Structure 1
Amino acid sequence: MDPLLFAAFTAGYILLFIWAILIVKNSGPVSAAFLLPVILGLIYDNGILAAGSLIGEGNTLKLLNYARFWIHAFFTPLLVLYSWHTLKQADIVWAKTGTLKGAAYLLTAGLILLELFTEVFGLELEAKWEYGVLSYSNAEAKGGPPIMVLIISAVLLAASVFIWRKQGWFWFFAGSVLMIIGSVIDIPVESAAAVNAFEWILLLSLTATAYFQKKRGLTKT
């Protein structure tokens, strides 16, 4: 069942990717541009998980899974820059300062390095079957989400509160809260893929936020 769910998520992310491209087209919000690599990485991630049992155990699948960790390390922190740009696009004055810009870029670079040194460098992969999915995962994986994910979740949540207050847009906040809930609560279902629904909902809310800000900007001009 899980390979089908991962395939469905792959299709869902492809739709989000197309939507984000349309938002960026014709000088759309800069925030949407930072979503493109993140969504592309999730297309790859879910696609490899969906196809793992078809590819079969061996070096090919191991290398494909190894790339998942590198993509996650470099692309996911871009959500910090997405958050910063949403605040700028909401015309929040303090978000336009050089200080916050520098902090956003430094935090993004810091999170990339943190993920590389704590999760990627020295990574040992082992084959794993789970609910019909064959993948290669970290042999020394620790329980709970990585520190990088926790920090990004906090940044997204904080930005969503300001967007809600400034522009009356609730769905950025809703997506961020649901993602946090999905990360901390054990869902009583026999599936590893089902939890990824929260991640897709988050990316849907982020893409919808970029679309909302684009439409709002066009209305003002």
Structure 2
Amino acid sequence: MDTFLYLFFTGSYIALLIWGLIGIRKQDLPQWTSFIYLIILALIYDNGIIAFGKWIGEGELLETLNLLRFWTHAFLTPLLVLFATGTLKESGIVWAQKKWVSIVGIIYTVILIGIEVWLEVSQLTLKAAEEYGVLRYVSTKEASGPPVMILLVTLVLIVASAILWKKTKWAVFFIGAIVMTIGSAVPINVDSGAVTNAFELFLLFTLVWTKRRLIKDKLRVY
């Protein structure tokens, strides 16, 4: 079942990336919200490697490919902070245009990358694990809850999306952040390790939709 789900997620992220780029002009790409495309590419890779793991087979190649999953996660997931900051800047919120907002966003992102590398990746050792029909390499360290980096990124997403909702009446970003948070926190009693990734896909869908709304429909402060 999980092989099918990971293949589905991989295809969905490819479709989401294409939809996100359709109609985007070159002058729109340098904006901070465009970091969402890098994050989607990382998720395509992440889900794809897991989906095809059993065909690649256990060994050094699959271990290296999975190690790269952890490193891309550490460096690219914190870019969601810059995306969230970008939604506030690009919607025309006055205080978000201040230079200090950009500086704080960049520093916060760098700190999150450092935290993830220090706590999760720098001392990482992997072991092969086959579960629900998929083969991948996972950390040998026992998980003791959500990673600190994820919690801090989620906090920024919720706060920024709430501000955007209040200022522009656009609630989609906020709904995505809340659904993702609840979906990650509430245990789902199913024989699958991939089902909860649907909440992540939903979040990314709302982020791309928000990006397109900012560009195409000129989402602005009322």
Instruction: Identify whether the pair has TM-score above 0.5, normalized to the shorter chain.
Output: yes
Give the gaps of 5 or more residues in structure 1: none
Q: CA deviation at 1:22?
A: 2.5
Q: CA deviation at 1:28?
A: 2.8
Corresponding position of 2:5: 5
Please say if residues 10 and 47 of structure 2, whose CA atoms lie closer than 8 Å, have aligned partners that are also in contact: yes
- Residue-pair matches, total: 220
Q: CA deviation at 1:32?
A: 3.6
Change (3 A) 1:108 1:24: farther
C-alpha separation in 2, matches of 1:130 and 1:8: 17
C-alpha separation in 2, matches of 1:23 and 1:149: 31
Corresponding position of 1:40: 41
Q: Which moved more, 1:39-48 or 1:159-168?
A: 159-168
Please say if residues 20 and 33 of structure 1, whose CA atoms lie closer than 8 Å, have aligned partners that are also in contact: no
C-alpha separation in 2, matches of 1:155 and 1:43: 23
Please say if residues 20 and 32 of structure 1, whose CA atoms lie closer than 8 Å, have aligned partners that are also in contact: no
Q: CA deviation at 1:25?
A: 2.7
| Structure 1 position 192 matched with structure 2 position 193 | yes
Change (3 A) 1:23 1:78: farther
* Letter aligned with residue 130 of structure 1: E
Change (3 A) 1:96 1:203: same
For each residue in 1:186-218, what CA deviation from the matched residue of structure 2 results, as whole angstroms up to 9, or x when unmatched? 011111110000000000000000111112329
Corresponding position of 2:155: 154
For each residue in 1:18-65, what CA deviation from the matched residue of structure 2 results, as whole angstroms up to 9, or x when unmatched? 122225434337244100110000000000010011111110100000
Change (3 A) 1:84 1:23: farther
C-alpha separation in 1, matches of 2:115 and 2:24: 29
Change (3 A) 1:143 1:24: farther
Please say if residues 65 and 136 of structure 1, whose CA atoms lie closer than 8 Å, have aligned partners that are also in contact: yes
C-alpha separation in 1, matches of 2:210 and 2:28: 12
Q: CA deviation at 1:121?
A: 0.4
Corresponding position of 1:183: 184
C-alpha separation in 2, matches of 1:23 and 1:110: 34
C-alpha separation in 1, matches of 2:71 and 2:168: 35
SS at match of 1:197: helix
Corresponding position of 2:169: 168
SS at match of 1:129: strand
Q: CA deviation at 1:99?
A: 1.1
Please say if residues 3 and 50 of structure 1, whose CA atoms lie closer than 8 Å, have aligned partners that are also in contact: yes
Identity of aligned residues (%): 44
Corresponding position of 1:133: 134
SS at match of 1:141: coil
TM-score by length of 2: 0.95
Corresponding position of 2:78: 77
Counting only pairs closer than 5 Å after superposition, residues 7-156 of structure 1 correspond to structure 2 as 7-22=7-22, 24-28=24-28, 30-156=31-157
Please say if residues 80 and 152 of structure 1, whose CA atoms lie closer than 8 Å, have aligned partners that are also in contact: yes
Change (3 A) 1:32 1:100: closer
C-alpha separation in 2, matches of 1:35 and 1:90: 16
C-alpha separation in 1, matches of 2:90 and 2:173: 14
The Cα RMSD (Å) is 1.6
C-alpha separation in 2, matches of 1:77 and 1:111: 6
C-alpha separation in 1, matches of 2:151 and 2:56: 32
C-alpha separation in 2, matches of 1:209 and 1:23: 14
* Letter aligned with residue 27 of structure 2: S
